[in-house]
Amino acid sequence: MKKFTCAGDIGPWREAVKEALEIKRDRFAHTHLGRNRTLLMLFFNSSLRTRLSTQKAAMNLGMNVMVLDVNQGAWKLETERGVVMDGDKAEHLLEAIPVMGCYCDIIGVRSFAGLKDRESDYQEKVIEQFIRYSGRPVFSMEAATRHPLQSFADLITIEEHKTKERPKVVLTWAPHPKALPQAVANSFCEWIGLTDYDFVITHPHGYELSPQFTGNARVVYDQDAALDGADFVYAKNWSAYAGDNYGKVLSTDRSWTIDSRKMALTDNAMFMHCLPVRRNMIVTDEVIESPQSIVIAEAANREISAQTVLKRMLESL
């Protein structure tokens, strides 16, 4: 595997989940693969799970790991070509990328959407430049429009917990005070779209996601109706995608918060969220602390999705 930025890069999903579950059963079976290989993880944005789970996955494979927080200690990077660099940015990405490529074998990048210019965000300019100029396999640790390591972990988690062949999975928007990217929701749609699950998306009017990601999924604007009979409730906030509202918070309506009344509409559904989660905005204390909440198991599977991707990349070096 030479790049991992979207669902298409994983190949047949059942095989990928099978390989992931084998890794989970014996995560030290491939420690030889990463010997004398170096992973560079580059963060333009904060992280808890991605940073720790990906580093752990690399260590399970015997790799050496370097982590760089671009905004803490590195030169500020210009990302746009053609800019007269007379401001506070001391280095251009076009030098920084090949330089970083010299010091490692595989690169992971986290670079969120700026949420100001939709076209620029959806062109995935930053991670695409890493793919083009680093000379190394590159994987996304959440880019502007997708978070594939998260979605892969989500799929593994659903496969482990499902009790029906074709579970009903509901992606529901939930309120949040700050503008967040659409990446987690887009990516979840893209990965669940690989399966034959019964998939329903619910959100207030104005929060429509790009059809590029939602595909043929059913959108139901009435959250209660959407939750009816659900087996998995996947909550996430995202800012508006559509038109002039791109990147804006249109609603913080807490009637969309997932609480016990909403969960009672489901078929004893499991509650999922990628974390970090704002309690009593996205989900009540009661629901996230209930036995139906599988958010910790979901986060634990981030190590497994990362290790599966790194293993495949090491095998292709």
Q: Can you give the binding site for ligand CP, defined by CB under 6 A?
A: 47-50, 142, 150, 274-276
Residue 48 interacts, among ligand CP, ligand AN0, none and using kind-specific CB cut-offs from 5 to 8 Å, with ligand CP
d(CA 83, CA 81): 6
Q: Where are the alpha helices (DSSP H) in 220-259?
A: 223-227
Least spacing, CB of residue 183 vs ligand CP, in Å: 10
Task: Identify which of residues 137 and 181 has a Cβ nearer to ligand CP in the complex.
Answer: 181
Least spacing, CB of residue 124 vs ligand CP, in Å: 17
Amino acid, res. 229 = G
Tell me the Ramachandran region of residue 101: left when phi exceeds 0, alpha when psi lies from -120 to 50, beta otherwise: alpha
Task: Identify which of residues 98 and 177 has a Cβ nearer to ligand AN0 in the complex.
Answer: 177
Task: Identify which of residues 48 and 83 has a Cβ nearer to ligand CP in the complex.
Answer: 48
Quick one: DSSP state of residue 283? B
In the complex, the residues that contact ligand AN0 under the rule CB under 6 A are: 142, 180-181, 183-184, 274, 276
Least spacing, CB of residue 36 vs ligand CP, in Å: 27
Task: Identify which of residues 133 and 152 has a Cβ nearer to ligand CP in the complex.
Answer: 152
b or e along 54-74 (b: 16 or more beta carbons within 10 Å of the residue's beta carbon)?
bbbbbbbbbbebeeebbeeee
Residue 98 interacts, among ligand CP, ligand AN0, none and using kind-specific CB cut-offs from 5 to 8 Å, with none
Q: Provide the 10 A C-beta neighbour count for residue 285.
A: 10
Residue 180 interacts, among ligand AN0, ligand CP, none and using kind-specific CB cut-offs from 5 to 8 Å, with ligand AN0
Q: Which long-range contacts (CB under 8 A, 24 or more apart) does 158-162 make?
A: 158/197, 158/232, 158/272, 159/17, 159/21, 160/21, 160/297, 160/301, 161/232, 161/270, 161/294, 161/297, 162/231, 162/232
Question: Is residue 37 within 8 Å of 317, Cβ to Cβ?
Answer: yes
Least spacing, CB of residue 75 vs ligand CP, in Å: 24
Least spacing, CB of residue 81 vs ligand CP, in Å: 29
Task: Identify which of residues 194 and 300 has a Cβ nearer to ligand CP in the complex.
Answer: 300
Q: Provide the 10 A C-beta neighbour count for residue 184.
A: 22
Task: Identify which of residues 10 and 274 has a Cβ nearer to ligand CP in the complex.
Answer: 274
- The DSSP bridge pattern shows strands 91-92 and 3-4 to be unpaired
Least spacing, CB of residue 8 vs ligand CP, in Å: 20
